[in-house]
């Protein structure tokens, strides 16, 4: 499907506003789940690894809420990329700050709600606020070319022939009726009667009005059955062909080495980069930081700096002289170093500083759709981004429990964050190696030498004389 030229404005700014609030309402609470994590530890009395599954599933995959969040995120990013081209980085930066502003506000709001209404009341109110996403979704209008109108309702006569996966000639409804007639017992009896020459009984049969009405109803029924059978057969073949096309497009995506590296990088990034937003408050408590020293919750610092990072990185992505893929790789490498520095932070100031750095670098989510679009093209963005977000959610689900298990095993977060930093660093280097221009030189074949030709001169008869 071909889309119109992105307007870079107009209704696109309405899309930006509603996408901002969609991500604000959808991701504010799951990203601020670190506040709830402390309450869950006290309420359930389980280990950190097991308790971390609650927060990780709320932000990853596996639960109904996370499935809805994944669908909403992909929808807001895809429709924004359709409406913007030259300002795509700015637009993505603006909408992605919604989740960061939500993290900043929900971190304080959830603490207040827990204080007044308890943990259960807090979750009920947060769920009620999320219903406002319905109003935001009603304003999203897909940008579609007028040359390609919306598909009509599938009808029997509108099933395209190209969806046939067999080479044999398709049987139309009339042929299906004939097949049913051959299997109809009454008709076989009638044929045998005619074969025996009993033409008088046939004449009496057709003269009876009741018999004629029953015969007509039988013919109508057989025709409906044949038409339904034909329709279901064609529809099943169409769905099968669409499934084959989807699988073929998926295989073609993974043949792109940058896309394959991008999928590995986002998976490792979410395994290592997500735990701080869930566990940083507990890290401070484990480091014996007094509550009186908390000028601002660490999770709120991560949230506000993530918003700043998304906006700034999104603006930088619009500059022609900046390679967005290399910019994304740089954020991964620097983040890995910041994660490895967390075990050395023993005061609120150092933890707040590292939280700000990690939050700013987590803002690379604003340029990730930009990188994906440049890698696969706008036409394949929804398909490719859905695959990448699945593995990102999987990484979100696995990261916090792994870090929690490291703590339960060693009674310290040191090894856990070394592991997190290593995961992010590995993903960054894999993506860097896949994107280096030197790897493309091996594909540039040298000019092929002209094929060797052998000229054979036919000997003349005179040479034999």
Q: CB–CB of 376/256 below 8 Å?
A: yes
pLDDT interval class at 275 (50, 70, 90): confident
Has residue 200 got a pLDDT over 70? no
The mean pLDDT value for 168-185 works out to 49
**Confidence class for position 241, pLDDT limits 50, 70, 90:** confident
Checking phi first, is residue 344 left (phi over 0); if not, alpha (psi -120 to 50) or beta?
alpha
Q: Between these two residues, 94 and 226, which has the higher pLDDT value?
A: 94
Lowest model confidence (mean pLDDT) among 228-237, 288-297, 374-383? 288-297
To the nearest 10°, report the CA torsion of 82, 98, 428, 328.
60
* Rg of the chain (C-alpha set): 33
CB–CB of 35/294 below 8 Å? Answer: no
Pick from 155-159, 196-200, 389-393 the range whose average pLDDT is largest: 389-393
What kind of fold does domain 230-438 have according to CATH? Answer: Growth Hormone; Chain: A; (1.20.1250)
Rounded to the nearest 5°, which phi and psi values hold at 159?
-75, 115
Give me the residue spans of the domains in the chain: 1-143, 230-438
Q: Which residues contact 290 (CB under 8 A, 6 or more apart)?
A: none
- Does residue 301 sit in helix, strand or coil? helix
Range 188-203 average pLDDT: 47
Q: pTM for the whole thing?
A: 0.64
């Amino acid at each position: 499907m071909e889309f119109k030229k992105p307007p870079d404005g107009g209704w696109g700014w309405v899309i930006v506003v509603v996408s901002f609030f969609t991500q604000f309402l959808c991701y504010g609470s799951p990203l601020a789940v670190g506040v709830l994590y402390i309450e869950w530890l006290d309420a359930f009395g389980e280990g950190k690894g097991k308790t971390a599954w609650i927060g990780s599933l709320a932000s990853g995959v596996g639960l109904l809420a996370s499935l809805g969040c994944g669908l909403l995120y992909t929808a807001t990013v895809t429709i924004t990329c359709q409406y913007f081209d030259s300002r795509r980085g700015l637009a993505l930066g603006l909408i992605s700050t919604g989740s960061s502003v939500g993290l900043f506000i929900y971190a304080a709001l959830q603490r207040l709600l827990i204080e007044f209404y308890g943990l259960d009341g807090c979750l009920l109110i947060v769920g009620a606020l999320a219903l406002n996403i319905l109003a935001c979704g009603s304003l999203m209008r897909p940008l579609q070319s007028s040359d390609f109108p919306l598909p009509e309702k599938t009808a029997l006569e509108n099933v395209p022939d190209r969806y046939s996966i067999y080479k044999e000639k398709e049987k139309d409804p009339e042929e299906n009726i004939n097949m049913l007639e051959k299997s109809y017992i009454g008709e076989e009896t009638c044929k045998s009667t005619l074969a025996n020459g009993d033409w008088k009984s046939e004449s009496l049969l057709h003269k009876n009005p009741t018999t004629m009405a029953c015969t007509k109803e039988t013919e109508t029924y057989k025709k409906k059955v044949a038409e339904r059978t034909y329709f279901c057969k064609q529809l099943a073949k169409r769905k099968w062909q669409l499934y084959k096309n989807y699988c073929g497009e998926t295989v073609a995506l993974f043949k792109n080495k940058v896309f394959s590296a991008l999928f590995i990088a986002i998976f490792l990034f979410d395994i290592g980069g997500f735990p701080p937003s869930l566990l940083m408050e507990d890290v401070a408590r484990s480091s014996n930081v007094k509550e009186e020293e908390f000028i601002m919750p660490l999770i709120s610092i991560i949230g506000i700096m993530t918003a700043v990072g998304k906006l700034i990185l999104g603006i930088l992505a619009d500059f022609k002289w900046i390679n967005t893929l290399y910019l994304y790789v740089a954020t991964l490498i620097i983040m890995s170093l910041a994660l490895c520095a967390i075990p050395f932070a023993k005061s609120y100031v150092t933890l707040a500083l590292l939280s700000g750095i990690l939050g700013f670098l987590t803002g690379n989510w604003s340029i990730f759709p930009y990188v994906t679009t440049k890698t696969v093209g706008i036409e394949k963005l929804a398909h490719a981004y859905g695959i990448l977000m699945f593995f990102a959610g999987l990484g979100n689900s696995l990261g916090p429990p792994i870090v929690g298990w490291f703590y339960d095993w060693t009674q310290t977060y040191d090894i856990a964050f070394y592991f997190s930093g290593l995961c992010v660093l590995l993903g960054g280097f894999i993506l860097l190696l896949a994107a280096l221009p030197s790897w493309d030189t091996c594909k540039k074949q040298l000019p092929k030498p002209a094929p060797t030709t052998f000229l054979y001169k036919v000997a003349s008869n005179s040479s034999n004389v």
